[in-house]
Amino acid sequence: MAYVDWMISGPKIASCNCAYGCPCEFNARPTHGLCEGLEAHRIEKGHFDDLRLDGLIIAARYRWPGPVHEGGGVAQGIVDERATEAQREALFKILGGQEQEPTTVFNIYGATIEKELDPIFAPIEFECDIEGRTGRLRVPGVMEMAIEPIRNPVTGKPHRAVIRLPEGFEFTEAEVASGRFWGGGDLAFENRECYAALTQVGYGPYGVLR
């Protein structure tokens, strides 16, 4: 099947309530039974057909009652308020799994979401230093996330760990870090000293760009 030509690429930060290393990355069950978290992706370069998406930020927050693949999830998308009407429409098509294979990250997660809350259009503050393993996300009044290096429990020194999923549907390589996040509303949550990941990643109609 022929899809519209599209691509979004740039740094992405994410955190969830699992322990460092998130067992789900290895197909084990989530540390605390349920899965909740958030993520944000700054589109350094992106387009949907001839529409440029460069510089826009997209984010999401979510919760599943168990492992992601068992379904029953609730999710909410947050789109950069600077996006024009046409850009919003393009981003919703991408995030909604249209114009792409059923095996992309948006379609795999999408298949496990039972309830989608109305999207939010808001200013999104985004910082990401993949090498330094620090990051920050702030959607005023909605949610915040701060990422810093994991510390060795004995020496206190930063612990560097990289997860490589050569065939992964979400990333090929991610730096693992420590996250703290909180948010209000229908998906209220608060977690600290939990899993966080930073990655440089791009997606297109056929999945992760490698």
Q: How far is the CB of 151 from another protein (least distance, A)?
A: 7
The smaller minimum CB distance to another protein, of residues 73 and 77, is found at: 73
Instruction: Give the closest residue to 60 by CA, choosing from 82, 43, 71, 75.
Output: 75
Token digits of residue 116: 């989608």
Token digits of residue 88: 């919003």
Q: How far is the CB of 47 from another protein (least distance, A)?
A: 31
The smaller minimum CB distance to another protein, of residues 63 and 133, is found at: 133
Per the CB < 8 A criterion, the answer to whether 49 and 5 are in contact is yes
The smaller minimum CB distance to another protein, of residues 77 and 207, is found at: 207
Binding site for another protein (CB under 8 A): 19-23, 25-29, 31, 67, 69, 150-154, 159-167, 176, 195
Alpha helices in 56-99 (DSSP H): 85-95
Q: How far is the CB of 82 from another protein (least distance, A)?
A: 36
Q: How far is the CB of 153 from another protein (least distance, A)?
A: 6
The residues near 46 (Cβ < 8 Å, ≥ 6 apart) are: 6, 7, 8, 9, 10, 52, 53, 54, 56
The smaller minimum CB distance to another protein, of residues 19 and 188, is found at: 19
- CA angle 49/138/123 to nearest 5° reads 50
The smaller minimum CB distance to another protein, of residues 78 and 130, is found at: 130
Q: How far is the CB of 52 from another protein (least distance, A)?
A: 35
SS3 24: helix
